[in-house]
A and B are shown apart, each in its own frame.
Chain A
Amino acid sequence: MAGMKTATGDYIDSSWELRVFVGEDDPEAESVTLRVTGESHIGGVLLKIVEEIKRKQDWSDHAIWWEQKRQWLLQTHWTLDKYGILADARLFFGPQHRPVILRLPNRRALRLRASFSQPLFQAVAAICRLLSIRHPEELSLLRAPEKKEKKKKEKEPEEELYDLTKVVLAGGVAPALFRGMPAHFSDSAQTEACYHMLSRPQPPPDPLLLQRLPRPSSLLDKTQLHSRWLDSSRCLMQQGIKAGDMLWLRFKYYSFFDLDPKTDPVRLTQLYEQARWDLLLEETDCTEEEMMVFAALQYHINKLSQSGEVGETAGTDLGLDDLDAALNNLEVKLEGSASTDVLNNLTTIPELKDHLRIFRPRKLTLKGYRQHWVVFKETTLSYYKSQDEAPGDPIQQLNLKGCEVVPDVNVSGQKFCIKLLVPSPEGMSEIYLRCQDEKQYARWMAGCRLASKGRTMADSSYASEVQAILAFLSLQRTGGGGSGNHPQGPDASAEGLNPYGLVAPRFQRKFKAKQLTPRILEAHQNVAQLSLSEAQLRFIQAWQSLPDFGISYVVVRFKGSKKDEILGIANNRLIRIDLAVGDVVKTWRFSNMRQWNVNWDIRQVAIEFDEHINVAFSCVSASCRIVHEYIGGYIFLSTRERARGEELDEDLFLQLTGGHEAF
Chain B
Amino acid sequence: MGESNDDIDQMFSNLLGEMDLLTQSLGVDTLPPPESKPPRAEFNYSVGFKDLNESLNALEDQDLDALMADLVADISEAEQRTIQAQKESSQNQHHPASVEVPDFSGAAALSYGANVTAISVSQYENDLPPPPADPMLNLPLPPPPPEPLSQEEEAAQAKADKIKLALEKLKEAKVKKLVVKVHMNDNSTKSLMVDERQLARDVLDNLFEKTHCDCNVDWCLYEIYPELQIERIFEDHENVIEVLSDWTRDTENKVLFLEKEEKYAVFKNPQNFYLNNKGRKEGKETNEKMNAKNKESLLEESFCGTSIIVPELEGALSLKEDGKKTWKRRYFLLRASGIYYVPKGKTKTSRDLACFIQFENVNIYYGIQCKMKYKAPTDYCFVLKHPQIQKESQYIKYLCCDDARTLNQWVMGIRIAKYGKTLYDNYQRAMARAGLASRWTNQSTVSTAPPATSAAPSTGLKTSTPQANGQIPQAAHSVSAVLEEAQRHVETTKDKKPALGNQGPGAPEVHQLPKSSLPPPPPVRRSSDVCSSPATAARARGLGGGFPAPPEDSLPPPPPPPPLDEDELPPPPPDFHDAPPDFVPPPPPSFAGDVGSALPPPPPPPPAPEAARPPRVALKRPPAPPKRKESPGPAVGGGSGEQDFMSDLMKALQKKRGNMS
CB within 8 Å of A: which B348-390 residues: 349-351, 353, 355, 358, 360-361, 386-390
A288 interface hit (Cβ, 8 Å): yes
0 or 1 for each of B299-310: is its CB under 8 Å from A? (1 = yes): 011000111111
CB within 8 Å of A: which B377-407 residues: 386-391, 393-396
B491 interface hit (Cβ, 8 Å): no
0 or 1 for each of A290-311: is its CB under 8 Å from B? (1 = yes): 1001000000000000000000
Minimum CB–CB distance from A527 to chain B (whole Å) comes to 13
A404 to B389, CA, bound (A): 13
Contacts of B300 in A (CB 8 A): 641
A285 to B340, CA, bound (A): 14
CB within 8 Å of A: which B315-356 residues: 335-338, 340, 349-351, 353, 355
Contacts of B282 in A (CB 8 A): 586
0 or 1 for each of A324-360: is its CB under 8 Å from B? (1 = yes): 1011001100000000000000110000000000000
A330–B350 CB distance below 8 A? no
0 or 1 for each of A398-411: is its CB under 8 Å from B? (1 = yes): 01011010000000
B337–A289 CB distance below 8 A? yes
A490 interface hit (Cβ, 8 Å): no
Minimum CB–CB distance from B326 to chain A (whole Å) comes to 19
A347 to B350, CA, bound (A): 52
A286 to B297, CA, bound (A): 28
B129 interface hit (Cβ, 8 Å): yes
A427–B337 CB distance below 8 A? no
A584 to B353, CA, bound (A): 17
Pick the interface stretch among A7-15, A38-46, A57-65, A418-426.
A418-426
B77 interface hit (Cβ, 8 Å): no
Candidates B337, B338, B389; contact of A428 at CB < 8 Å: B389
B281–A346 CB distance below 8 A? no
B307–A541 CB distance below 8 A? yes
A589 interface hit (Cβ, 8 Å): yes
B279–A287 CB distance below 8 A? no
CB within 8 Å of B: which A454-497 residues: 458
Contacts of A640 in B (CB 8 A): none
**Given A287-B355, A402-B388, A548-B350, A427:B395 Cβ within 8 A:** yes
B350–A547 CB distance below 8 A? yes
Contacts of B309 in A (CB 8 A): 545
A423 to B281, CA, bound (A): 43
Contacts of A255 in B (CB 8 A): 305
CB within 8 Å of A: which B162-186 residues: 162-165, 167-169, 172
B336–A545 CB distance below 8 A? yes
**Given A320-B108, A346-B149, A540:B127 Cβ within 8 A:** no
A587 interface hit (Cβ, 8 Å): yes
B350–A323 CB distance below 8 A? no
A572 interface hit (Cβ, 8 Å): yes
Minimum CB–CB distance from B379 to chain A (whole Å) comes to 24
A544 to B391, CA, bound (A): 38
A168 interface hit (Cβ, 8 Å): no
B361–A572 CB distance below 8 A? no
Contacts of B307 in A (CB 8 A): 540-542, 544-545
Candidates A424, A526, A548; contact of B388 at CB < 8 Å: A424
* Interface residues contributed by chain B, number (CB under 8 Å): 67
A586–B278 CB distance below 8 A? yes
A330–B337 CB distance below 8 A? no
Q: Kindly state the interface size class of chain A when it binds its partner.
A: 35 or more
Contacts of B128 in A (CB 8 A): 323
A541 to B282, CA, bound (A): 33
B248's closest neighbor in chain A, by CB? Answer: A425
B350–A286 CB distance below 8 A? yes
A643 interface hit (Cβ, 8 Å): no
A582 interface hit (Cβ, 8 Å): yes
B461 interface hit (Cβ, 8 Å): no
B107 interface hit (Cβ, 8 Å): yes
A364 interface hit (Cβ, 8 Å): no
**Among B158, B279, B305: residue with most chain A CB under 10 A:** B305
Contacts of B389 in A (CB 8 A): 423-428
A546 interface hit (Cβ, 8 Å): yes
A425–B391 CB distance below 8 A? yes
Candidates B108, B153, B248; contact of A346 at CB < 8 Å: B153
B160–A346 CB distance below 8 A? yes
Candidates B165, B169, B338; contact of A289 at CB < 8 Å: B338
A582 to B300, CA, bound (A): 29
B350–A546 CB distance below 8 A? yes
B306–A259 CB distance below 8 A? yes
A402 to B386, CA, bound (A): 8
B358's closest neighbor in chain A, by CB? Answer: A289
A544–B306 CB distance below 8 A? yes
B340's closest neighbor in chain A, by CB? Answer: A287
B626 interface hit (Cβ, 8 Å): no
Contacts of B390 in A (CB 8 A): 425-426
A319–B153 CB distance below 8 A? no
B146 interface hit (Cβ, 8 Å): yes
Minimum CB–CB distance from A141 to chain B (whole Å) comes to 23
A369 interface hit (Cβ, 8 Å): no
Candidates B172, B306, B340; contact of A541 at CB < 8 Å: B306
Minimum CB–CB distance from A74 to chain B (whole Å) comes to 39
A537 to B306, CA, bound (A): 9
B393–A428 CB distance below 8 A? yes
Minimum CB–CB distance from B385 to chain A (whole Å) comes to 9
Contacts of A428 in B (CB 8 A): 386, 389, 393, 395
Minimum CB–CB distance from A125 to chain B (whole Å) comes to 22
Contacts of B165 in A (CB 8 A): 323, 326-327, 330
B164–A293 CB distance below 8 A? no
A330 to B158, CA, bound (A): 10
Which B positions have Cβ atoms within 8 angstroms of A? Answer: 47, 50, 107-109, 127-129, 132-133, 146, 149, 152-153, 158, 160-165, 167-169, 172, 246, 248, 275, 278-279, 281-282, 294, 297-298, 300-301, 305-310, 312, 335-338, 340, 349-351, 353, 355, 358, 360-361, 386-391, 393-396
Question: Can you list 17 A-B pairs with a CB-CB distance of less than 8 A?
Answer: A287-B350, A319-B109, A323-B132, A326-B168, A346-B149, A402-B386, A402-B388, A423-B387, A425-B389, A427-B391, A428-B395, A458-B168, A506-B351, A545-B307, A545-B309, A587-B279, A589-B275
**CB-based closest 3 A-B pairs:** A427-B393, A545-B336, A425-B390
Q: A326-B165, A428-B393, A545-B335 are in contact. List 8 more A-B contacts (CB 8 A).
A: A287-B335, A287-B350, A346-B160, A401-B50, A425-B248, A544-B307, A547-B350, A587-B279
